[in-house]
Amino acid sequence: MRSTAGAALIALLALAASSCGKPPPPKVDAETEKAQALERARHDAFGTQVQALDKAKAMQDDLNKKAADGLDKADNASK
């Protein structure tokens, strides 16, 4: 039993000593990484799909703006 406990203690100390010299991992901003990954994807194998998604989002924003403008005009006309 003592040899097993001693071996476990030595392994634990070796693990602790090996992890002391490592620098902490760099802090990564999630939003920055997401933007960079999206930009890489635009020029990678999935470029056409990402560009199509960008166009669809732009169309959605344009349609929503036109619908809101139409509602505003209708509200103003009914007054």
Spans of all domains in the chain: 30-79
Q: pTM above the 0.75 mark?
A: no
Higher pLDDT, 19 or 1: 19
Concatenate the DSSP letters of all residues of 6-39 into one string. HHHHHHHHHHHHHHHTSPPPPP--HHHHHHHHHH
Structure token pair of residue 53: 């998604």
pLDDT in tens, 40-50: 888 887 788 88
**62 closest CA partner among 51, 72, 70:** 70
Q: How many Cα atoms occupy the beta-carbon half-sphere of 39 within 13 Å?
A: 6
Tokens of 34: 């997401």
The amino acid occupying position 58 is A
Higher pLDDT, 63 or 26: 63
